[in-house]
Structure 1
């Protein structure tokens, strides 16, 4: 996470940029609009709800439950990706907000299982930082890592009004990162196979990133 961008990272980024230029602007518009609406729903709305709070006797016990939760979400995402991937570009456009919703729900559950209060606006904002850690480019990820590492101090400096939060770079980085894999899912014929694999891996990556991010906070909170 803290390593410098590799040649593979740079080549992948270049290929993604070229693929982005080949995608119709209408598709980009749908993705961007969906991202905006989903992120606002995370911070302001009640669309996403988490599991009921439960007391665990230890972090180890909580993480056993969290890993089981991640496995369940991976299976759900894989099934959903296979169904929509088989439908080509139209169903693929449907897949984007659905998968995004699955990811958000997973993060809400993990936060609650670690004992964090998602009713707190800044805890919801932290979820967006986890998204960036999981799905941004290596260069941007290093920047976000430092922010997560010093979250307790950073959170005190964050705006109380979401309209003052600069979320445009987050949208672009997240979209750029998944474009290469998700565009393959939109191709009729091969989409079903790719959709299952990609969705499964995206959820696995997000779950692992979230666990590490919350571990950092718990360690930092110890006296």
Structure 2
């Protein structure tokens, strides 16, 4: 079995795992978060959505400026993935240091962690796109990265639709003009709220911040690799 055949099967199994029925605990947690969100005034939701939208867009611009193309023209698919694995390792360490630093600083630095960690994750995704041979100068490729990000940090309710867009992106991208920013920010906040609340607690914030950021980048890395696999292999069918 070739490496690509093996990875095609691995990505298929990963896709199936993403489409599994949520557990009772996950369903209960999502219901509780939905009820909490319903109690928040609409003006607050609008303000948060716009704030995160601008924050992400600014991060995308910054990541595009600071991400340098790698010389990957002659690399095989397997060599590209080995480079992605190394990149995941580097960014996990960077994110862990950032999380531990802001977590140790209490509430104020804990709040600063949100944009800093977001920037790290976006830069990571730009690096991954470059390694797989996609130009993030194109709007469609930056939008693709946002869907990868959303898939990594969202509930099961939104995964099926997002997965379809990702797998068949090259045939659907002209139909997908923008992201639902309300869903994007709400799903992301719901996903990481508990961890980030623990990160600002005295005494344990540094440990929680470092460990959480390390594993969240690992999760994003696994998601990004499988999303690109699905996309690449779907074009070969």
**TM-score between the two structures when normalised by the length of structure 1:** 0.86
> Partner of 1:83 in structure 2?
101
Matched, 1:170 2:184: yes
Helix, strand or coil at the partner of 1:130: helix
- In 1, Cα distance between equivalents of 2:20 and 2:193: 23
- In 1, Cα distance between equivalents of 2:87 and 2:46: 33
**8 A contact 1:34–1:97 mirrored in 2:** no
**8 A contact 2:70–2:130 mirrored in 1:** yes
- In 1, Cα distance between equivalents of 2:46 and 2:110: 14
> Partner of 2:13 in structure 1?
none
Gaps of 5+ in 1: none
> Partner of 1:211 in structure 2?
225
Instruction: Go from structure 1 to structure 2 and tell me whether the alpha carbon gap of 1:70 and 1:31 turns closer, same or farther (over 3 Å shift).
Output: farther
Matched, 1:202 2:219: no
- In 1, Cα distance between equivalents of 2:34 and 2:228: 32
Higher mean C-alpha displacement, 137-146 vs 92-101: 137-146
**TM-score between the two structures when normalised by the length of structure 2:** 0.81
- In 1, Cα distance between equivalents of 2:54 and 2:47: 11
* Structural mapping, 1:131-150, within 5 Å: 131-150=149-168
Residue 116 (structure 1) shift = 0.5
Match of 1:38 among 55, 59, 72: 55
> Partner of 1:60 in structure 2?
78
What is the root-mean-square deviation of aligned Cα atoms in Å?
2.5
Matched, 1:114 2:94: no
Gaps of 5+ in 2: 1-17
Helix, strand or coil at the partner of 1:177: helix
> Partner of 2:6 in structure 1?
none
Instruction: Go from structure 1 to structure 2 and tell me whether the alpha carbon gap of 1:77 and 1:33 turns closer, same or farther (over 3 Å shift).
Output: farther
Measured against aligned partners, the alpha-carbon deviations of 1:2-47 in whole angstroms (never above 9, x if no partner) come to 1122212113324556787999xxx98996555222322255x345
Matched, 1:187 2:201: yes
Instruction: Go from structure 1 to structure 2 and tell me whether the alpha carbon gap of 1:29 and 1:196 turns closer, same or farther (over 3 Å shift).
Output: farther
- In 1, Cα distance between equivalents of 2:167 and 2:54: 28
- In 1, Cα distance between equivalents of 2:38 and 2:204: 22
Match of 1:93 among 108, 111, 131: 111
Residue 127 (structure 1) shift = 0.6
Instruction: Go from structure 1 to structure 2 and tell me whether the alpha carbon gap of 1:138 and 1:15 turns closer, same or farther (over 3 Å shift).
Output: same
Pairs aligned (count): 215
